């Protein structure tokens, strides 16, 4: 599709992920990368290039609300120590694969920098829209401290592309770190408030950052007009960050009904990321997890699916997240069956569209097909409300993907186009 051209997608069924309904006999008019109009019927649009979709389902592009775009290796330490240049090229390939799976927007929770955001915006890299936290903030000995017990090298200092986060201790340091990340282009701030699987010295029940540090970081984010996301697993840590102003709760595997109720009252959003625990368990030898990490992993897997039900019953909004590093990123779309098992297909689709848009602070621009939104669309041969597996795998069942009004994947016949395929009707 050429700049300034108008594209008319006609004869389609429109999937509304907000209400989990499919409307037949719809048309979408696209201009300047955005949706100009959604119509009933297929009457011609003057001056527009028409593409007949043959009754196929069209839905909004997917949003993965927890990725690590620059997490190209299985090892957290290896990502942090890699050459910036090589890492940027590898991250570009990883982002392109995400787009092929139908994810037209992803939210990065540590490792990506504003340079990757700009490269995508300028078309230097093929991939989704990228919303970033910059480097996550971690205390010494926390979930961003990848040093072994015997490693006494200091890690404080400027963050690196690919590093999950940066270490900071005490209120003055965490304030400065938050301000630096926001200055460098972070759209929101992430903190590590609990132990984690992939780092060697932080027990899972470890409560990280003091209340005063958390409040200071939240204040800095609020001052900048944004919010704080927290890596949390245990009920104690979830409640602690929730009551001190954190908005986005990443993981939440061990949450209680009582704490989920508090999170719902405060309007928090949860991103469960359960696929990562299943795949780490299945591929533990490949990713070289030590026994201590396997013990943590077993506990998190046990609580995972139950946490989904607890969150749903409490009324906490749930967003889609994968959190897969390195070689496991090929399973990005496999969170869908887990969400469907507990929440149902409609809620799973909402998690990957409407709720993701809220977390990205892009409501009305992504995650739904409405006038004024970016023309980020998927064209499918079936209805994912009936068969959510259409979205699983590597995108092989997605017939076309559009980002910003341009087809980035196009396997559609053109029976109703006014220009033949050689003329690239509706294609970039």
217 and 113 fall within a common domain: yes
Q: Give the pairing of strands 228-234 and 189-192.
A: parallel
Residue stretches of the chain with pLDDT short of 70:
1-4, 147-162, 414-428
pLDDT at 203: 87
Q: Which of 359, 379, 410 is the last residue of a domain?
A: 359
104 and 247 fall within a common domain: yes
234 and 333 fall within a common domain: yes
315: alpha, beta or left, given left = phi > 0 and alpha = psi -120 to 50?
Answer: left
Closest CA to 62 of 246, 301, 335, 303: 335
The answer for residues whose C-beta is within 8 angstroms of residue 81's C-beta and 6 or more apart is none
335 and 391 fall within a common domain: no
Q: Establish if 1 belongs to a structural domain.
A: no
The answer to whether 380 touches 59, Cβ cutoff 8 Å, is yes
**Count of structural domains, the chain:** 2
pLDDT at 139: 92
Q: Which two tokens stand for residue 200?
A: 């060697």
Q: Which of 332, 359, 386 is the last residue of a domain?
A: 359
174 and 29 fall within a common domain: no
Q: Establish if 123 belongs to a structural domain.
A: yes
191 and 336 fall within a common domain: yes
Kindly report the CATH number assigned to the domain that includes residue 255: 3.20.20.140
pTM over the 0.85 mark: yes
Owning domain of residue 112 = 62-359
69 and 187 fall within a common domain: yes
d(CA 158, CA 248): 25
């Amino acid at each position: 599709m050429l700049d300034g051209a108008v594209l008319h997608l006609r004869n389609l069924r429109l999937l509304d992920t907000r209400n989990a309904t499919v409307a037949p006999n719809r048309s979408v008019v696209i201009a300047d990368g955005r949706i100009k109009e959604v119509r009933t019927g297929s009457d011609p649009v003057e001056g527009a290039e028409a593409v007949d979709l043959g009754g196929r389902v069209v839905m909004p592009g997917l949003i993965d609300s927890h990725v690590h775009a620059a997490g190209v290796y299985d090892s957290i330490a290896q990502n942090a120590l890699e050459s910036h240049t090589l890492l940027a090229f590898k991250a570009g390939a990883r982002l392109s694969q995400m787009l092929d799976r139908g994810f037209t927007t992803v939210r990065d929770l540590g490792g990506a920098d504003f340079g990757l955001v700009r490269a995508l915006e300028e078309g230097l890299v093929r991939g989704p829209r990228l919303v970033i936290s910059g480097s996550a903030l971690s205390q010494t000995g926390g979930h961003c401290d990848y040093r072994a017990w015997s490693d006494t090298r200091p890690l404080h200092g400027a963050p690196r592309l690919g590093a999950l986060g940066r270490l900071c201790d005490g209120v003055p340091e965490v304030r400065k770190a938050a301000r630096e990340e926001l200055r460098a282009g972070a759209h929101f701030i992430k903190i590590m408030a609990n132990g984690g699987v992939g780092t060697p010295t932080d027990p899972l029940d470890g409560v990280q950052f003091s209340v005063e540090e958390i409040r200071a970081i939240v204040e800095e984010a609020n001052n900048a007009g944004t919010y704080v996301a927290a890596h949390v697993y245990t009920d104690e840590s979830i409640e602690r960050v929730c009551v001190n102003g954190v908005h986005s709760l990443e993981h939440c595997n061990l949450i209680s009904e009582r704490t989920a109720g508090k999170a719902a009252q405060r309007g928090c959003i949860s991103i469960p990321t359960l696929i990562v625990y299943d795949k780490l368990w299945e591929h533990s030898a490949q990713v070289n997890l030590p026994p201590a990490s396997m013990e943590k992993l077993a506990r998190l897997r046990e609580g995972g699916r139950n946490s989904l039900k607890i969150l749903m019953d409490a009324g906490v909004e749930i967003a889609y997240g994968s959190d897969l590093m390195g070689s496991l990123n090929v399973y990005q779309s496999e969170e869908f069956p887990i969400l469907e098992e507990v929440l149902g297909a409609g809620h799973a689709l909402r998690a990957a569209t409407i709720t993701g848009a809220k977390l990205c602070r892009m409501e009305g621009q992504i995650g739904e097909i409405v006038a004024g939104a970016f023309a980020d669309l998927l064209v499918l041969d079936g209805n994912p409300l009936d068969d959510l597996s259409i979205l699983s795998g590597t995108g092989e069942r997605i017939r076309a993907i559009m980002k910003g009004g341009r087809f980035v994947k196009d396997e559609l016949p053109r029976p109703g186009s006014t220009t033949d395929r050689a003329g690239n009707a509706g294609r970039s």
